[in-house]
Amino acid sequence: MPPQRRVNDAVFYYMDDLGSRIVAKSGIPSDRHHLGKLILQGLKDDPDFLLQIDGSTGESETSGSVLERSVRFALSLRKLGIKRGELMVLLAPNHLDLSIALYAGLYLGIVVCGIYSDTPPVDLQPLLAVTKPSIIVCQSDVASTAQMISLNLNLNPHIITFDKGDFCYYIDFMEMYKDDTPVEDFQCTDLDPETSTAFVVNTSGTTGVPKAIAHSHKYFAILLPQIWSKYTKFPTPTKLVLIGSPLQWSTAMTSFIRSAVLRYTRVQSSQKLSMELMTDLINKYRPTYSIFSPTLMSSLLKLNKVDLTCYEEIMLCGLPVPLNLIQEIKTLSPNTEVTNLFGMSELAGLGFFGDNPAPGSCGKQMSCFQYRLLDVDTQEEIYEPNVQGELWIKGPVPFLGCHNNAEATKELLTSDGWLKTGDIFYFDENWNYFFVERIRMQIKCFYYRMSPLEIEGVIRRHPGVLDVAVTSIPHNEWGELPVACVVPKPGAKPSAEEIKNLVKDTLQDPKRLRGGVIFMDSMPMTTTTKVHRRLLRQLALELPRV
């Protein structure tokens, strides 16, 4: 087994050199944090480099081709009259054209927002209501829906399609608004990276109303290299990165940006990623690095067809990561480093990292953040190890908050810039941080705070349980009652009494399943493969409980 990689400064030296060359040309010191200019220079540095592959079709494209096409699209957007600070929604799967519009937007200071291409109208409407786009670039089969919803919201965005249909095809658009400026003469729009929003990421909405989290150019430019601080070779720290999530998820958005700047090849899919297709892509292309959700990875392993030995590193984030899942991956691929990440849309990625974290830990504090842990009830700061509290984080530059939502920003941020994560953590004697749960997931029964994750962990021990999620129903006298939503294993028939007794015999009295047990064929999930907690709570009120 190769020695574990250690944190070092190689990626920061690379970013410093790249930024310095950009500033030397423009004479603007802040340009080292302009994402559009970083991407543009990254593409220019090696035009023959293989940048992206569509694993579904086998099509591929070099940095030089992406440079040419993205600049042409940017020039057309500029000629159309789209201004810095206006917002562009990208409503499409991960085909090769997606990055063309993304990079063009960042060149011009246009705010970019990715939305999952299969988002149903009932979910698309609140997302467009929050983002208020000036332009939507999408597939032709969703263009009419996007237009109808926009009109209902009194919005009138330009709609351009990636494929031919009833709306303006992007190839025709670039011909209609053609600008013959040579690529080498193209100049990005100047902006203040600290105050200018680069992109917004829609939160999943599993526990409340969806919000669009705004991140500045400077914030992400500072955060961009952190996740690669264990690698020593730049550019191209790893051979091939497989993207397993849509652009709506921050792991995809940030990887599209990083791949051009750090110059690594990414494999993506224009088709919806089923477990079978994901397996085929891994076995065929042999990626060396990926970020997956624990749910997706668990589903992938159940097929028992995937060969993970190609991986240098697999990062797991988005949900609590069971230790047995990490062990299962390590058993199948002993030379693969498996990292448990804590990430948030609000952070544009990870919140902890570091050398040799303890088993089950999300890592240690990062130098670019400040950290606080506060008692949920008293709001007093916690300084002792192994005491649980809400995590607060302060970023390297002012966090921009929620796009077009001042009230939500006030709920999320303190007046002096601390992000209230809403997540319960504790740290050990060596400053390893451990995720416990989200505050909103906590159940209060008999004035006793309890963790659904703890109850779920007990129920998973039942041999007939494939999946479980615990939610609650309101009760006039007791506050809330825990309810277990259970998906049985194929062919198994666990009884509600068995599951109730398992919890009763293992945990304290307030944690008993007084709200009952609901048996389901499958767990409701969001588009980002998380349990849909808000919908689950609604279903607990509607479905029969045993």
Task: Report if residue 352 sits inside a domain.
Answer: no
**Predicted local distance difference test score (pLDDT) of residue 204:** 53
pTM of the full predicted structure? 0.84
**Predicted local distance difference test score (pLDDT) of residue 446:** 64
**Predicted local distance difference test score (pLDDT) of residue 140:** 96
**Predicted local distance difference test score (pLDDT) of residue 510:** 83
530 and 395 assigned to the same domain: no
Average pLDDT of the segment spanning 514-543: 85
Looking at 412, 441, 470, the residue that finishes a domain is: 441
Handedness of CA 74, 76, 79, 80 (dihedral sign): negative
The H or E element containing residue 503 is helix 496-506
- Residue 400 CA from chain centroid, whole number: 18
The rounded radius of gyration (Å) of the Cα atoms in the chain is 24
Domain hosting residue 396, numbered range: 368-441
**Predicted local distance difference test score (pLDDT) of residue 359:** 87
Task: Report if residue 6 sits inside a domain.
Answer: no
**Predicted local distance difference test score (pLDDT) of residue 447:** 55
109 and 199 assigned to the same domain: yes
More confident residue, 450 or 266: 266
Average pLDDT of the segment spanning 334-354: 88
Q: At residue 280, does pLDDT exceed 90? A: yes
Lowest mean pLDDT among 25-29, 124-128, 187-191: 124-128
Confidence of residue 452 (pLDDT cuts 50, 70, 90): confident
Amino acid, single-letter form, for residue 273: L
More confident residue, 123 or 64: 64
**Predicted local distance difference test score (pLDDT) of residue 318:** 74
Average pLDDT of the segment spanning 191-219: 83
**Predicted local distance difference test score (pLDDT) of residue 355:** 81
Burial class (CB in 10 A: 0-12, 13-18, 19+), 166: exposed
**Predicted local distance difference test score (pLDDT) of residue 207:** 44
**Predicted local distance difference test score (pLDDT) of residue 5:** 81
111 and 171 assigned to the same domain: yes
**Predicted local distance difference test score (pLDDT) of residue 209:** 60
**Residues facing 424 on adjacent strands:** 390, 437
39 and 169 assigned to the same domain: yes
Q: At residue 249, does pLDDT exceed 70? A: yes
Mean pLDDT over each residue of the chain, to the nearest integer: 92
Looking at 214, 244, 261, the residue that finishes a domain is: 214
209 and 101 assigned to the same domain: yes
100 and 208 assigned to the same domain: yes
453 and 501 assigned to the same domain: yes
Lowest mean pLDDT among 44-58, 155-169, 193-207, 246-260: 193-207
Q: List, for residues 16-35, the tens digit of each pLDDT value.
A: 999 999 999 999 999 999 99
What gap in Å lies between CA 426 and CA 113, rounded to an integer?
Answer: 33
Average pLDDT of the segment spanning 291-301: 86
Closest to 254 (Cα-Cα) out of 225, 279, 231: 225
Q: How many CA atoms lie within 13 A of 184 on its CB side?
A: 2
Confidence of residue 112 (pLDDT cuts 50, 70, 90): very high
Task: Report if residue 272 sits inside a domain.
Answer: no
**Token pair of 515 as six digits:** 């709200």
Q: At residue 71, does pLDDT exceed 90? A: yes
Closest to 433 (Cα-Cα) out of 340, 368, 344, 348: 340
List strand residue ranges (DSSP E) for 255-387, in order.
265-268, 289-292, 313-316, 337-340, 343-344, 349-350, 370-374
Lowest mean pLDDT among 151-160, 345-354, 457-466: 345-354
Task: Report if residue 76 sits inside a domain.
Answer: yes
458 and 533 assigned to the same domain: yes
Looking at 166, 194, 214, the residue that finishes a domain is: 214
**Phi/psi at 356 (5° precision):** 45, 60
Task: Report if residue 260 sits inside a domain.
Answer: no
506 and 397 assigned to the same domain: no
**Predicted local distance difference test score (pLDDT) of residue 233:** 96
44 and 123 assigned to the same domain: yes
More confident residue, 342 or 281: 281
Q: What is the domain-level CATH number for residue 138?
A: 3.40.50.980
**Phi/psi at 381 (5° precision):** -75, 145
More confident residue, 19 or 303: 19
More confident residue, 173 or 296: 173
472 and 434 assigned to the same domain: no
Domain count, the chain: 3
Measuring CA to CA, how many Å separate 379 from each of 7, 258, 285, 373?
Answer: 34, 37, 50, 9
**Token pair of 461 as six digits:** 């021990």
Average pLDDT of the segment spanning 293-320: 88
Measuring CA to CA, how many Å separate 489 from each of 95, 463, 503?
Answer: 36, 8, 19
Q: At residue 206, does pLDDT exceed 70? A: no
**Predicted local distance difference test score (pLDDT) of residue 335:** 95
Task: Report if residue 335 sits inside a domain.
Answer: no
Q: What is the domain-level CATH number for residue 533?
A: 3.30.300.30
427 and 487 assigned to the same domain: no
Q: Between β-strands 389-394 and 419-427, what pairing exists: parallel, antiparallel or unpaired?
A: antiparallel
Confidence of residue 453 (pLDDT cuts 50, 70, 90): confident
**Predicted local distance difference test score (pLDDT) of residue 205:** 46
